[in-house]
Structure 1
Amino acid sequence: MSDHGRVGVRRKARDLAARPAVARGLGASASNEQCIAERTDRPGERLVQERALRLLACDLVEADLGDIEVLIEYQLPSTSKRADVVLAGVDRATGHDAYMIIELKHWRRACLYEGDSDLVVVPGISELPVLHPALQVRAYRDYMADLLKASGLQGAVHDAVYLYDAVDSDIHDLYQISRAQYNVFSGSRRSEFRSFLKSRFAELDGKTAAEQLLSSNIHPSPALFKVATEELRNRNPFVLLDEQRLAYELVLHAVEKARRSKTKSVVIVSGGVGSGKSAIGLALLGELHRSGYRVMHATGSHSFTQALRRQVAKGSARQKALFRYFNSFSDAAPNELDVLICDEAHRIRETSANRFTPAGARTGRRQVEELISAAWVPVFLLDERQVVRPGEVGTVDAIQAHAQVTGIAVHTVDLDGQFRSGGSLQYERWVENLLGLGNEKAQGWTEENLFSIALAETPHQLEEFLRGKLEKGHSARITAGYCWQWSAPKTDDTLVPDVRIGTWARPWTAKGDRPAREAPSSALWATLPGGFGQVGTVYTAQGFDYDWSGVIIGPDLVYRNGRLITVRKASKDPALMKSNITDRQADLLIRNTYRVLLTRGLVGTVIYSADPATQAFLAKLLPPLPR
C-alpha cells in the first residue's frame, strides 16, 4: 500500500541541524502528531528527543551529508512499530538508493542481564531485562529489507545504534555482541560514527530515495502459516520486532538457565489481537526443535491445532506430533519437556476433564497446573480479551498466582504492537470503542491509508467485493456472529445454506472434521482455497488472519437507544444457551466475539449488519463500499 503517512516528520539533515524541534509534530499530519506525542509524553522526553536529533543531524552535516533525508518516527509498513530515524540517500558504492535505520538511545549506562549478550539492563531506567538495541535495530533492518525486496525495489538497508550520551566504559557490556556484525556507537565514538555514515552514503541529495520509499507499493507480510512452514523446515526465521524479540530471547535465556542449573521458570506473553503472539510461539518451536530440545506446541483451539498439523507439519509425522491440545498433558510426568509453548492460552479451561473423560483419568488438578508441571519452561501466549466461550479461564493473574504459590519464577512481557489491520492501532481502538470495550464513545472512522474499512449495502455486495479481491490473488473470508442454525451436511454431502439474509444465503463451514464436496473441513476453512464459499464463526476464525475480512453482524448485536446492545436470545451458540451463564457473561462473550471477527483482516475489513437500525448506525460511522 502506498503510504506517505508512514513518517512522522521529514527533514533534510542540514535543516534539522538548524531547527530540530520536530518532537512537537511540526510538519506532521494530525494522526502522526498523536503517534509522536504518545511516544514522547513523559516530562522532558521531547527535549531529549530534540537534542538527540540535533546531534545526529550535526554528525551528518559534519560528514558532508547535509542533503540526506531524515525520516523521523518512520512507521514500518504493516506494523504499528516506528523506527526512531530512517536516513534516505544514495549508496556510496553502487549509486542506488540506500537507507539506514538508526536507534537513538539516551542511556548512560547498560550491562548484560545474567551474562546473556542478547539481553541488557539499563540502571536508572529499568531493572528488568530489555532487548539489546543492536538486535532491535537489526530486526528493523531485516524487516524493511524483506519488504523492499518483495516490492521489487532496489536499495541497501543498513542499521546502527547511537548511544550519544554514553562513554565506552559505561556500556562496555554492549560491545560483547560481535562488533564485526553489529554497529554500536557511543558518544565517545562520534568520529567513528561519522566515518561509518560517510562510508555508506554519497554526498548527494536523498530526496529521490525518500520519495521512492514513501510512495512504494508495500506488500503485506507473508501469511503466518506460510512463514511457519519455512521456519519449521528450512530455518527461514520470522522477523520479530521489539517486545516480540524480547519475549523470544527471554524464553531462550530461561531454557539455557534450566539446562545449566535445573531452574524452572514461567514466561507469560500477553498482547492484543495482531500483536504477534503466534509468530513468537512458532519461531520458538522451530528454533528449539532444530536445536534438539524436547519442545511441544499446544492450544485450546481445534481449528488452529489441526491447521498447524495439516499445513505447517504436512508430510512429517514427527512434526505433526509437536502440535497438541491443552488437555493432552493431564498425565504428563513433571518436567518431561524442556519447553511447552501454550498459544491462545486465554482458552485454558478450569480442568482438562470433560463429560467424556473416564473417572479413572480425572486427575482433579487444574489445567494450568498440568501445563506448568509438564515443562521446565512453560510459555503462555494470551489475550484475555479474546475469551469467547464460557469456562475459558486463562489470565495473566491466574497463571502468575499458581506459579508463585509453587515458588516458580515468572517473567512477563506485554506486546504493544499491531501487525494485523495494516499495523493500524487506530483501527484497533476504533473496534474496541464501537463494541463498548474501549474508553471512548464510538466515532466515525477517520480515513487513513494504513487500513481499509467500509460498509456494504447488502451481503451480496460484500461477497462480490471480496470475491474480486480473491480473484486478484488476495486471501479473503466471510465470518458472521453465531446467529443462525449450523446444520450438518446433507446426505449428498452438500452444505445447508443456513446463513440467510433476505435473498442471500450461504452455508456455515463444514460441520465436523470431514470436508464436504469442495468445502474444506471446518478446521482448515481459514487456510485452504475452498473456504471462501462458506461463512466462518469465531471458532473457525480465531487465531487466523487473511488479507480481506468480511464481517456480518448478526441480530445478537444491535443498535438501540443510542448504543450497541447484545441480544442473547438471538444467538444460536450452544455455549451461550447454558443456564449457568449469566446475561452479563454472555454480553461480554458476544462483544469479544465481534472483536475477534473484526480484527482478522491484514489489508481491509468490510462490514454488514443484518439489523436495519444497526446498519443505519454504521452508515453514519463508515464510508460506503465503492460500487
Structure 2
Amino acid sequence: MLAYLANKAQFLEDAHIIEDLVRDSVKENLGIGVSQNEYASWRNSLGNGMSHIIASPEIPDDAGIAIEYQINKLKNRIDFIVSGKDAQGEESIVIVELKQWTEVDYSELPEHVNTFVGQKKRDVVHPSYQARSYASLLEMYNVYVYETPVNVTSCAYLHNCPELEVVNDSRYEEALRNTPVFIKGQKSEIVSLIASQIKTGDGVELLRKIDAAPTRPSLQLAEAVSRMLQGKEAFVLIDDQKTVLESIVKAAHDGLDGKKQVLIVRGGPGTGKSVVAINALSRLMGQRLIARYVTPNAAPRAVFEVNLKGAFKGGEIKELFSGSGSFTGIEESDFDILIVDEAHRLKLRTQYSKGGDNQIREVIHAAKTSVFFIDEAQKVTWKDIGEVSEIEKFAKSMNAEVKHLELKSQFRCNGSDGYMTWIDEVLGVIADEETTYPESSYDFKIFTNPSELYKEIRSKNEINNKSRMLAGYCWDWVSKNNPKLDDITFPEFDFSAKWNLESRGSAWIIDPNSIEDIGCIHTSQGLELDYVGVIVGPDFKIEGGELVSDPEGRASTDVSLHGYKKEMKEDPISAGAKADQIIRNTYRTLMTRGMKGCYIYCTDPEVAKYFQNRLSR
C-alpha cells in the first residue's frame, strides 16, 4: 500500500512541503502514527536529499515516484521508489533505502553495522542488505512483479554520511554485490544508477499496478520452500504428528471461505510441535497460501533462517518466520494461516509497537486460520500469557470455530516418557510421589564440579557439535558491557565462562564456537541438543527436605521476573506462586533440551543431594 504517489514533476513541486504530505498520507492511507523524528527524517531525506537526485535531467520527467510503500502485511516499508521503463522498454523500478546516519562503525554481527539509532548506538542490518531484502519480497510476493516480470534494482543512500570505508568493507561483499551503497557527495553515482534502469517514464502507471496487485507467494518460492523443508529427514511425521498436520491443512482451507478457524495443539517437550509446525508451513506454502511460522522466541527462527540461507536471498526467508509482535494493526484476516509455535510465550502487549493490546487476540484477528502449539508448563517469564483458556476466550469473541488436538508421542529424551514424568515430579511441576527414575537409555548424571561437567559436555560435542551448556539465569550479564569479564565463575573449581556472546546472534546454538559459551532459557527454548549440561543456580534451595524456589537467587539482569516485586506488594500469595511456577518451568525446559542426556551441577550441595536421592530412589 502506497502513502505518496506522483510523477517526477509533481514530486519536485511538492519537495518544499513533502514531509507534511507524506505524514498526512501515512496516517490516512496506512493508518500509522508518525513520530517527530520520522517527520524530520522525511524533511532531510526527501526534501533535501532525494529531490536533488530526482531533479537531474538524466531522469525522465514522467518517471513515477513512490514514498513509504508498505510491501507486505507485516508493515515493512520501502522508503523511495522510482519507476519507468529500461532501455529495452521493459517495466523497471529502483528501490532506494534512505538513512540519516552521519557515522557508521563495524558490528560483530554478520551483515550488520553499528550506528546511532534513537540516540543510542545499536547493531542494525546493513542498509544494502535491507534494501535487497525488500526487493526480494517484491519479487517473491507481489503477483504483478513476479508474473510480468518487473525488473527490480535496489540501492542504499546515506546522504549525511561522509565516510564510505565501513559500509563498503569487503565483509559486506554479499550484501553489496547487487545493491550498492552511496554516501554524501555521491549524487552523480546514484543518479547514474537510477538513469541506467529508468530510461523512459510512464507516469505512475507501473506503481499503481504494483500497489493494486495481490500478495501471494510466487510458485518459485512455494516450490523451493516445500522442497527444502519436506526433504529433510528430521521433518518426517509419524502417528499423532501426521494427524495434527492433516487437521491443520484441512482447517486452513476451511477458513478460506468460511468461519475463522482456531486450532489449539497441546504437547510437551519433544512431542514434535515445531516439527509439525514447519511441515504445515511447507505444505501450505506449496499450495500458495499466505502462511507464516510465528514464534515469540528468536532462537528457533534464527536457526531455521541459517539452515535455509543457502537456498534464498535473505529477505524472503525472514518473511516466512515472524516474531509474535508483528501483528499489531494488521487488517482482519489478512493472512490465510498463522502457525504459532511456543504459544505459551505470547505476551500481553507487543514491545516497540503502539496500539498492541494482546498478542493472542492480534494473531486470531489477523488470520483466517490460526494454530497455537502450546505447553503451559513452559511459561518462563512474568509476561507470558499463553494459556488455552485465553485462546478460547478470544476465539469465541471473534466467532471462530475452535478445535483441540494433542501431541502425545515422546521423541526427545530418547523417547523416554518415564524421564519426562520423573523430571516433572522432581522439579515439582506435577505432583506424583510414586515416580521413580525410569530404567531407560536416557543418560542423567549429577556432577559435583562444574569444570568436570563442562569437560564432559565438550567431549560429547566433539562428536557432532550438538551438545551445549545452559544455566538458570542467576548471574548478571556483565560481559555484555565488558567483554574482558566472565559472567559465571566458580573460583574454587577453577571455572569461568560467559553467557552466549551477543555477536553469535540468536542462532548461537549451532555456531561451532559457541561450545565456549553458556546459554540460558531465553536463547535455548524451542531448540534441542543431543546432550545438555545444566547449571542449577541459587534460585533453588532445600527447606524441610523439599525443593523450594527462591526468586532472590535470579540475576538482576534477567527480565523473566520483572513485575514480581511490584505484584508482591499487591498480592504476595499470587506473586509467590507465579514466580515459583516460572522458576520450576525454566529448569524443566532446560533439562529437557537433550535428546540423549542431561548432566547437571547444582550450586547448592543440598539441592544436588536432593536430585541424587531422587535419582537413587
Correspondent of 2:240 among 240, 243, 246? 243
Q: In terms of mean alpha carbon deviation, does 301-310 or 388-397 score higher? A: 301-310
- Stretches of structure 1 that go unaligned for 5 or more consecutive residues are 1-228
Does 2:355 align with 1:390? no
Q: How does 1:572-587 map to 2 (within 5 A)?
A: 572=555, 573-578=558-563, 579-581=565-567, 582-587=575-580
Equivalent residue, structure 2, for 1:174: none
Does 2:258 align with 1:258? no
Equivalent residue, structure 1, for 2:496: 506
Hey, what's the Cα distance between the residues in 2 that align with 1:379 and 1:560?
A: 42
Change in 2 beyond 3 A, CA 1:326/1:623: same
1:474 to partner: Cα distance: 5.3
Equivalent residue, structure 2, for 1:401: 393
Hey, what's the Cα distance between the residues in 2 that align with 1:286 and 1:615?
A: 44
Equivalent residue, structure 2, for 1:289: 285
Q: How does 1:471-482 map to 2 (within 5 A)?
A: 471-473=462-464, 475-482=466-473
Hey, what's the Cα distance between the residues in 1 that align with 2:281 and 2:469?
A: 30
Hey, what's the Cα distance between the residues in 1 that align with 2:340 and 2:431?
A: 30
Hey, what's the Cα distance between the residues in 1 that align with 2:246 and 2:322?
A: 23
Equivalent residue, structure 2, for 1:612: 605
Whether the 8 Å CA contact 2:237–2:276 is kept in 1: the answer is yes
Give the aligned residue type for 2:255: A
1:233 to partner: Cα distance: 1.9
Measured on the aligned residues, the alpha-carbon RMSD in Å equals: 2.3
1:574 to partner: Cα distance: 3.5
1:485 to partner: Cα distance: 1.2
**Alignment partner of 1:576: what SS?**
coil
Give the aligned residue type for 2:253: E
Give the aligned residue type for 2:527: F
Hey, what's the Cα distance between the residues in 1 that align with 2:580 and 2:290?
A: 41
- Stretches of structure 2 that go unaligned for 5 or more consecutive residues are 1-223, 568-574
1:464 to partner: Cα distance: 1.3
1:231 to partner: Cα distance: 5.7
Change in 2 beyond 3 A, CA 1:234/1:270: closer
**Percentage of matched positions with identical amino acids:** 28
Whether the 8 Å CA contact 2:465–2:512 is kept in 1: the answer is no
CA deviation vs aligned residue, 1:96-136 (integer Å, no higher than 9, x gap): xxxxxxxxxxxxxxxxxxxxxxxxxxxxxxxxxxxxxxxxx
Whether the 8 Å CA contact 1:459–1:501 is kept in 2: the answer is no
Give the aligned residue type for 1:337: F
Whether the 8 Å CA contact 1:430–1:443 is kept in 2: the answer is yes
1:444 to partner: Cα distance: 5.1
Normalised to the residue count of structure 2, the TM-score between the two structures is 0.58
Whether the 8 Å CA contact 1:560–1:613 is kept in 2: the answer is no
Q: In terms of mean alpha carbon deviation, does 306-315 or 283-292 score higher? A: 306-315
CA deviation vs aligned residue, 1:579-621 (integer Å, no higher than 9, x gap): 2342221111000000001100001111111111112222333
1:577 to partner: Cα distance: 4.9
Equivalent residue, structure 2, for 1:485: 476
Hey, what's the Cα distance between the residues in 1 that align with 2:605 and 2:252?
A: 55
Higher helix share: 2
Whether the 8 Å CA contact 1:342–1:378 is kept in 2: the answer is yes
Give the aligned residue type for 1:369: R
Equivalent residue, structure 2, for 1:416: 408
Q: How does 1:153-552 map to 2 (within 5 A)?
A: 233=228, 235-236=230-231, 238-259=235-256, 261-313=257-309, 315-316=312-313, 317-352=315-350, 354=351, 356-357=352-353, 361-363=354-356, 365-441=357-433, 445-449=437-441, 451-473=442-464, 475-489=466-480, 493-494=483-484, 496-500=486-490, 502-510=492-500, 512=502, 515=503, 520-521=504-505, 523-552=506-535
Correspondent of 1:589 among 569, 582, 593? 582
Hey, what's the Cα distance between the residues in 2 that align with 1:343 and 1:508?
A: 29
1:271 to partner: Cα distance: 0.7
**Alignment partner of 2:458: what SS?**
helix
Hey, what's the Cα distance between the residues in 1 that align with 2:258 and 2:493?
A: 64
CA deviation vs aligned residue, 1:491-544 (integer Å, no higher than 9, x gap): 6x55624343633433333454xx1xxxx23x1222221221111111111101
Give the aligned residue type for 2:274: S
Change in 2 beyond 3 A, CA 1:571/1:372: same
Hey, what's the Cα distance between the residues in 2 that align with 1:497 and 1:574?
A: 16
Q: In terms of mean alpha carbon deviation, does 587-596 or 293-302 score higher? A: 293-302
**Alignment partner of 2:406: what SS?**
strand
Hey, what's the Cα distance between the residues in 2 that align with 1:546 and 1:230?
A: 24
Whether the 8 Å CA contact 2:449–2:493 is kept in 1: the answer is no
Hey, what's the Cα distance between the residues in 1 that align with 2:496 and 2:342?
A: 29
Give the aligned residue type for 1:305: R
1:230 to partner: Cα distance: 8.2
CA deviation vs aligned residue, 1:28-73 (integer Å, no higher than 9, x gap): xxxxxxxxxxxxxxxxxxxxxxxxxxxxxxxxxxxxxxxxxxxxxx
Whether the 8 Å CA contact 2:500–2:518 is kept in 1: the answer is no
Hey, what's the Cα distance between the residues in 2 that align with 1:480 and 1:232?
A: 37
Name the count of aligned residue pairs: 380
